[in-house]
Amino acid sequence: MTQEEFYTDIIHFFENIEKYYGSKTEVTEGICSSAGDFNADTSTWNLFEFDLIRSAYRKNGDRFMMEGEGMYYEIDANSIVSFTQPGRNKFEFIEQLGDNVFRITKLRFHYKY
């Protein structure tokens, strides 16, 4: 995959995310400091659940954001090193936030169609 295709896939995802508005959204987040090795020994995990209300691109800081009732989550657009779709209505972003700091964000939408 070329760099241009990589960015096109990410933009396409966020341009079409509104079809998931109103859907239960699971965000599983893992943070590690071992060159992207997200095993249980080297990672810290968090799980968030909310109904997706809106999303946007925040130009100040170059962040993709998703919002639900009492929940706000951002992904640093400039730090994304991987974007995949491992299943239907499932997406994964990996950000490199520092020399040895990585965050994986796994999104699962409980979409009715």
Cut 0.85: pTM above it = yes
Is 90 exceeded by the pLDDT of residue 103? yes
Span 14-71, pLDDT tens digits: 999 999 999 999 999 999 987 768 888 889 999 999 999 999 998 888 899 999 999 9
Whole-angstrom distance, CA of residue 20 vs CA of residue 106: 15
Q: What residue ranges do the domains of the chain occupy?
A: 3-51+79-109
pLDDT of residue 6: 81
